[in-house]
Amino acid sequence: MCAVMDRGAIRDGSTFGAVYTCNRCGHIWVTRKADGLPRSCPKCRSVIWNKNCKTVKCLRCGHQWISTKKRPSRCPGCHTARWDVPVSPEPVKVRRPAVVDPDLVERIRDLYYTGMTAVQISVETGLSFQTVYSIVCSLEK
Ligand SMILES: [Zn+2]
Ligand SMILES: [Zn+2]
């Protein structure tokens, strides 16, 4: 976890310094401060330069960010908590032709008139809600 990869004291003229490496930008610098770690990286000004940062990529939306956590809880891009779980390939849906055959329209109409909602018809017929809805809408005109 220690970011200071090479902290061995080096001789810099007559002064001893410590070498620090920024985990964010990779900047290496020498400080003569005797005590304490530098607050921020002199180059990128990151205050988490000494944290074990890593670039994290969301497998859902592709967003990349730098995190100091071992496993960030959420993707800042799409806010999913399952950012490290690849999106499982969608089950291949049988794509119905855009043009719904007249028998089906009739069936939807029948179902609609029995009092079923577009959602129920969609479940019943296996058609997408959008399709059913548009047909239902056209019936109401
Ligand atoms: Zn830096
Ligand atoms: Zn995301």
Q: What is the pLDDT of residues 73-124, one digit of tens each?
A: 999 999 999 999 888 776 766 665 566 788 888 999 999 999 999 999 999 9
pLDDT score recorded for residue 54: 78
Least distant ligand from the CA of 38 = 1
Work out the number of other CB atoms within 10 angstroms of the CB of residue 9: 11
Share of the chain above pLDDT 90, in %: 33
Contact 30, 51 (CB under 8 A): no
What is the whole-number distance in angstroms between the Cα of residue 60 and the centre of ligand 1?
28
Amino acid at 77: G
Residue of 63, 70, 27 lying closest to 45 (CA atoms): 27
What is the whole-number distance in angstroms between the Cα of residue 81 and the centre of ligand 2?
9
What is the whole-number distance in angstroms between the Cα of residue 74 and the centre of ligand 2?
8
Cα 115 to Cα 70: distance, rounded to the nearest angstrom: 53
Q: Three-state DSSP class for 129?
A: helix
Least distant ligand from the CA of 27 = 1
Least distant ligand from the CA of 25 = 1
- pLDDT (mean) for 31-39: 77
What is the rounded radius of gyration, in angstroms, for the C-alpha atoms of the chain?
30
Copy the structure tokens of residue 75.
């993707």
Copy the structure tokens of residue 3.
């970011």
Say what the pTM is. 0.36
